[in-house]
Structure 1
Amino acid sequence: MALLTASGLLVVAGPADAEAAASCAGRKVRTLPFSTGSVQVHKRGGYVCAVTVAKKQGKTQWMSVSVRARGGRPVVDRGRFKYHAGPVTVHAGQRCVWVEGEVGRGSVSSGWILC
């Protein structure tokens, strides 16, 4: 009986686990909403982390997240996912970052932020 109960709890906890996997370390400094999702931006020390989260989760769809420190190359995660793209992390130090996210046909681009 305990095994069945534990199994039931794991099924219930499934989406929460997916959401926990999408989180970045540090404190959330920005949420960039758009029509089909949002990009959550976190900062810890000199590191910036971003994850794109879909509004309608559970359906496989195109998603991407990108974060780039000024003067550096973007770190990107893109593909077909059910819940989120990322997290991706860059060492920005005191530099500005540019964050982009996409879910299906919706997208957001931050411009230079956290300067």
Structure 2
Amino acid sequence: MAAVLLALAGPGVGTAAAAAPCPGHKVRTLAFSTGKIVLYKKRGYVCAVTYAKRPGARKTMSVSVQARGSRPVRDKGRYTRLAGPVKVHSGHRCVWVKGSVGAGSISSGWILC
């Protein structure tokens, strides 16, 4: 019966987990001791996600993106794998990205100018 259900479902079922959480193309990865932030860009928008180096148990995680001249957009909570995505309209302005997983963190300074 399981084989019939798999045949009916067809290819591509279960592949959504592999899809990127943000639209656009990956422009930068910022690694730190307990995780990494991956940045994507599309049509003037910058999107960021913080990934845990060791997913599994819930831990405090955060991600923040701020376009120069605007307020930061944040996601913070207790997650098992990732925080975000958060997206801001940056146009051609620089962005400042911050992220943390547990005790490890990173702050980019102004980038993507």
TM over 0.5: yes
The correspondence for 2:73, drawn from 54, 67, 75, is 75
**Deviation of residue 58 (structure 1)?**
1.5
Q: Which SS does the other structure have where 1:98 is aligned?
A: strand
Q: Which has the higher helix share?
A: 1
State how far apart, in whole Å, the 1-side matches of 2:108 and 2:50 are.
13
Match of 1:46 in 2: 44
State how far apart, in whole Å, the 2-side matches of 1:40 and 1:85 are.
11
Once the two structures are superposed, what CA deviation does each residue of 1:45-85 show, in whole Å capped at 9, x if it has no partner?
A: 10000000001112100000000000000000000000100
Match of 1:9 in 2: none
Number of matched pairs: 106
The correspondence for 1:24, drawn from 22, 25, 32, is 22
Q: Which SS does the other structure have where 1:100 is aligned?
A: strand
Larger Rg: 2
Q: CA RMSD for the aligned pairs? A: 1.9
| Identical-pair percentage | 61
Match of 2:10 in 1: none
**Deviation of residue 2 (structure 1)?**
1.5
Runs of 4+ in 1 over 3 A off after TM superposition: 3-6
State how far apart, in whole Å, the 1-side matches of 2:51 and 2:5 are.
30
State how far apart, in whole Å, the 2-side matches of 1:84 and 1:63 are.
7
Residue type matched to 1:2 in 2? A
The runs of 5 or more residues in structure 2 that have no matched partner are 7-13
State how far apart, in whole Å, the 1-side matches of 2:45 and 2:3 are.
41
**Deviation of residue 3 (structure 1)?**
7.2
